Amino acid sequence: MAADEVLQQMRVCGNEMNDAKRLACYDAAIGRTETSDDVGLTGKLLRSKRQEAGLTDAAPKSVHAKVVAVTRPPAGKFTVTLDNGQVWSQQESIDFPLEVGDEVTIRSGLLGALWLGAGHRNQETRVARTR
């Protein structure tokens, strides 16, 4: 973003009366997305601070979809395509039977891990989004 655009955005932010929203606007104008003030906050308190500032979570906490394709290369880790167009790859080498038509949920775990679980089994496997 050009310096003139940043300066213009800063002027717009200055008109915001709510302190938290004004600070969030300034942070967004300069490209700052996280602050060191968030260290040590519980998830609930951090969500409350972000909501007060008018910010929303970038991604949902979980995704529910149906499997439309599964590929298993020789290494054994699968790649799955979901009906929402997302493609996910298994990140660990465990036997996890998955078939076209299965309904799955992908949820966030600790430290940014993402877990895929199929509704008909009591097991999950770590995945990463590839597309």
* pLDDT surpasses 80 at 6: no
Same domain? 121 vs 82: yes
Phi, psi of 94 (to 5 degrees): -125, 155
Same domain? 47 vs 68: no
Per-residue confidence band for 126, with pLDDT thresholds at 50, 70 and 90: very high
Question: 60: buried, middle or exposed (CB in 10 Å: 19+, 13-18, 0-12)?
Answer: exposed
Residue 115: which domain range?
Answer: 62-129
Same domain? 70 vs 116: yes
* pLDDT surpasses 70 at 122: yes
* pLDDT surpasses 80 at 79: yes
Task: For residue 61, give the DSSP letter.
Answer: S
120 vs 36, which has greater pLDDT? 120
Residue 57 lies in a domain: no
Residue 14 lies in a domain: yes
Q: What local confidence, expressed as pLDDT, does residue 12 receive? A: 86
Count: domains in the chain:
2
Same domain? 71 vs 23: no
pTM summary value = 0.55
Give the orientation angle of helix 3-14 with respect to helix 19-30, to 10 degrees. 180
